[in-house]
A and B are shown apart, each in its own frame.
Chain A
């Protein structure tokens, strides 16, 4: 309720500010139907919401004001100074009430005089006005409240009748029958377009919310908050469409609303049937809104069957209700209903409440006496006839749900948000992009400058630009929830169709990403979710047979990491059967039998993204995945994203999507080759390797003329950028390798120089150049020159280095390892026999020692050394890492002295023999790459060199036996 209340206050406050202004405008231009319409709408929204939230006073004021406005609109009443001041008084009264609500949570306050004045005003002319009976001033709520219950048709006629009449004319005008229309109406139509647009937009948002709320409600039928929120959304739509004269839409929403009233009043609780009916209504409303936005009227379809079905649902509830109203669910005290359904039901209500009250008092003396009061409040509008009740009401102002949170000042929430057109944001984003480029230029130019003032100004510009960039990006950010909101509905419908039980869970709903990306993510995510429901999660019987709970779980996760948004869609279903995919792939000729036998099942599962397999019906039926997966992948790659799948047979499947935060400005690595600079988007960047000239002969090997580098035991194909781009000969000297990954293709790109990282603005290339696959676009560098952006995938394809074994080592367990260590750590840098660099956290190291090789002895097959009166087992680092002894011959080059890193406590120590102790450094560890082998946590760049992080705990675990054994022996 707190959220609802806050939202109500915020919206009302906004409306109110507009209201005062519009009334003034109206006074100056009384014939302006557009303004009048806007005033009416604001008042009506406040009325509806206040009725729902149980602010009876506020509702009465707005209701009476609405009547007056109706007269104005009908031309029965003329807007003169007196009327205008009364209306302004209304605005003030509403403001008073809102402040009271914000401060105290109630709308106490005496505005009877004003109300009477208003009612007099509208009644004076009521006989002139051909509207069905106006409500009596003393019981407005019961007739015209949003929850008009079984007053159904009367309420529609009264509450929105006058508006509806007007709207009908407008509707006809929309349909083109101008000839018999008064010109005023036409003008109104013209001017109402803006209001209509807002209405459509708002309603669509509301419907999306209702969709997901209904699903939630089905699961927790007792959630009043949800129900109220749904109710309110539907009521707003109903009210406004009545006002516009979309009578078919109104009729439908009205029936739906009646059904909701029953639910809210607890006459019966949410069932599957009702949920289905309501969801069908939401769909119908959405269809009508679409019709309105396209053709200006609410279509020819009357949805009579749906309306009948809904009425039946409603009636069904009524019958039940007459039999036995459940005292526990009828009119719960925390939710006052401003209007009870029907007068003839009031007695039922009273008895129900009596039961409740007696039950309450029976429970003991500690029952809050306010309970009784609160119960009477909902009764108040129900039937004013019982004397006791009416008197109670008049003597006691309406109690509402005074939520403790509502007590705190809420003025701060007002005017907290505004609506902005997306094109405005788009152009703003473009401008910021240009500014970033200009900033880069200035910063570069100033770098060589002596004048400190200029430098200071440039630095300031630099900072402000960065902040501005961030700010503008933020305006375009939307929570991923806007995509997810409709998924529970999708899952619900689909799982019922498949006869499955599936629960949707969401984590990180508020994770934000750029609006354009959100749009682009919609289809792929929906598709993946569908797939998981359809093929991933098994039927309840199968699940039970497999020892899993009957209800499957579909988990949606989103989080930020490394400047990217990660989205995971996981199910706890059957997983993907790699063997089936393999069979299919071999049958389709995608794989040779030999190739297939070498592939891990993870690698095979990744083949579901291949187009050749995705369309194969057999695979989808058996293995469960694949329809349109290549489309999903293509769509995600279109927005520079990547998708991956992890699956475990019988345990489930996880689809992992990574997308950049925004498309317009991307971080990139700048490299040069052949005196040209190129930008490589960091999305594709894995790590950087530098090979000194002296080591090149060893480090680069050739397979049939193709250069490869042995990177931690794996062959990395090398691509020379010079050759691919025909740039002439590479520079002699050290070799710089940029390890890139795109799609299935991982390779090392050899460039002359690695410069730095920069934020770049991607600019498209001319049509004629788009056929060159190696460039993704161009950007402008700090010095004003143009640099081309390399397309990793394009280069890989051009060089034909499509690796068969991408990310071989990325397994689930490694993914779980800590990927980021934010704090600065003191690290010991050592080298391995194959000249790899390894970092060991110094705080886990006991000592560094140096032993003469001759001092070492053998104990069993373990090398040991006597050290401080104990036997210290020695473990060769390369052995632990199972490293190939590249370039190291045991006989020849055994060093005289061995360097040992000692771990562990006194008496239980172990020595790690390394080739060389390089340095001790203080670094903030940011692990870039995934671990490529056991015993390593990951890779990081330390002092510009790629360094692996030694996994101390894994090491100690692996040698634990050794320590114990030798410890006992000693």
Chain B
């Protein structure tokens, strides 16, 4: 496998997993904002946020990855990402460091990863103390993926 260019990842925690997305796509990270729910929307869409006059769609990553719901009182963080489809806010439990991963120490996710996780998780980086799972952001926010949860609404 060829040596890849060092890539920086913005990392965050969801449930007991450690995730990363490419840092270039991240516009900013903000604290929890009041979210206006959108009725009839897919369940993974938590609602809309006013980000300095810009309306941003908030996507709950836990729901998207079919993880258990956040416990009551736990306030998620917003990772605002810029995509060709517009700005989205990804709701994560906690924010980690920005890591630069240049080595070849990743593997594709195992085939037996089921459901959405299997579709969205691209690579698993073998860090010293954890596995960092990276996702392709354009896929996460695609209408196709989001609307798959529509019937659950």
Q: Which residues of A line the B interface, CB within 8 A?
A: 434, 437-438, 676, 724-727, 763, 765-772, 774-775, 778, 780, 784-788
Contact = CB atoms under 8 A, between A and B. Distances in A.
Nearest to A773: B40
- In the complex, which of the residues B85, B142, B143 has the most CB atoms of chain A within 10 Å of its own CB atom? B143
A631 to B, nearest CB: 27
Nearest to A673: B39
B36 A767 contact: no
B48 A786 contact: yes
B55 interface: yes
Interface of B: 34, 36-42, 45, 47-50, 53, 55, 57, 85-86, 88, 141-143, 146-147, 150, 153
Contacts of A772: 38-41
Nearest to A780: B50
21 contacts: A434-B53, A438-B53, A676-B36, A724-B39, A726-B39, A765-B55, A766-B85, A766-B141, A766-B143, A767-B86, A768-B45, A768-B142, A769-B45, A769-B57, A771-B143, A772-B41, A778-B48, A780-B50, A786-B36, A786-B50, A788-B39
A727 B50 CA distance: 21
Contacts of A767: 85-86, 143
A770 B143 CA distance: 9
A786 B53 contact: no
A676 B34 CA distance: 12
A794 to B, nearest CB: 10
Given A766-B85, A766-B88, 15 more contacts: A726-B39, A727-B39, A765-B38, A765-B48, A767-B86, A767-B143, A768-B85, A769-B38, A769-B45, A772-B39, A772-B40, A780-B50, A785-B50, A786-B48, A786-B49
Contacts of A438: 53
A438 B48 CA distance: 18
Given A766-B57, A768-B143, A769-B45, A788 B36 contact: yes
B39 A785 contact: no
A769 B57 CA distance: 9
Nearest to A725: B39
Given A763-B55, A769-B45, A725 B34 contact: no
A780 B55 contact: yes
Contacts of A437: 53
Contacts of A778: 36, 48, 55
B39 to A, nearest CB: 4
Nearest to B86: A766
Given A767-B143, A768-B42, A784 B50 contact: yes
Contacts of B39: 676, 724-727, 772, 774, 788
Nearest to A761: B53
A526 to B, nearest CB: 35
A790 B55 CA distance: 16
A777 B90 CA distance: 20
B87 to A, nearest CB: 8
Given A725-B40, A766-B88, A785 B45 contact: no
Contact of A771 (B85, B141, B147): B147
The 6 closest A-B pairs by CB, nearest first: A725-B39, A768-B146, A786-B36, A766-B57, A768-B143, A786-B48
A769 B53 CA distance: 19
Contacts of A787: 36
A437 B34 CA distance: 17
Contacts of B42: 768
Contacts of A763: 55
A785 B142 CA distance: 25
B116 to A, nearest CB: 14
B36 A785 contact: yes
Contacts of A785: 34, 36, 50
Nearest to A775: B38
Contacts of A434: 53
A763 B141 CA distance: 19
B139 to A, nearest CB: 12
A437 B141 CA distance: 27
A435 to B, nearest CB: 10
A787 B48 CA distance: 9
B137 to A, nearest CB: 14
A12 B41 CA distance: 60
B141 to A, nearest CB: 7
A729 to B, nearest CB: 14
Given A780-B50, A780-B55, A785-B50, A768 B40 contact: no
- In the complex, which of the residues B39, B40, B55, B146 has the most CB atoms of chain A within 10 Å of its own CB atom? B39
A384 B78 CA distance: 87
Nearest to B47: A786
- In the complex, which of the residues A438, A724, A767, A785 has the most CB atoms of chain B within 10 Å of its own CB atom? A767
Contacts of B45: 768-769
A97 B153 CA distance: 77
Contact of B141 (A726, A727, A768, A770): A768
A672 to B, nearest CB: 12
A676 B40 contact: no
Nearest to B88: A766
Nearest to B57: A766
Contacts of A724: 39
A772 B143 CA distance: 12
B41 to A, nearest CB: 6
Contact of A774 (B36, B40, B85, B150): B40
B147 A768 contact: yes
Contacts of B37: 676
Contacts of B147: 768, 771
Nearest to A766: B57
Contacts of A786: 36, 47-50, 55
Nearest to B40: A772
A724 B39 CA distance: 9
A438 B50 CA distance: 12
Contacts of B53: 434, 437-438, 780
- In the complex, which of the residues A724, A775, A780 has the most CB atoms of chain B within 10 Å of its own CB atom? A780
B6 to A, nearest CB: 32
Contacts of B50: 780, 784-786
Nearest to B34: A785
Given A437-B53, A766-B57, A766-B86, A788 B38 contact: yes
A762 to B, nearest CB: 10
A206 B131 CA distance: 69
B47 to A, nearest CB: 8
Contacts of B142: 768
A915 to B, nearest CB: 41
B36 A771 contact: no
A787 B55 CA distance: 10
- In the complex, which of the residues B48, B86, B141, B146 has the most CB atoms of chain A within 10 Å of its own CB atom? B48
A787 B38 CA distance: 9
Nearest to A678: B39
B104 to A, nearest CB: 35
Contacts of A771: 143, 147, 150
- In the complex, which of the residues A726, A765, A766, A778 has the most CB atoms of chain B within 10 Å of its own CB atom? A766
A769 to B, nearest CB: 6
Contacts of B47: 786
Nearest to A721: B39
A443 to B, nearest CB: 16
Nearest to B145: A768
Contacts of A769: 38, 41, 45, 57
Nearest to A677: B36
B58 to A, nearest CB: 10
Contacts of A725: 39-40
Contacts of B38: 765, 769, 772, 775, 788
B119 to A, nearest CB: 16
A726 B42 CA distance: 13
A676 B40 CA distance: 14
Given A768-B57, A784-B50, A726 B40 contact: yes
B33 to A, nearest CB: 9
Contacts of A768: 41-42, 45, 57, 85, 141-143, 146-147
B133 to A, nearest CB: 23
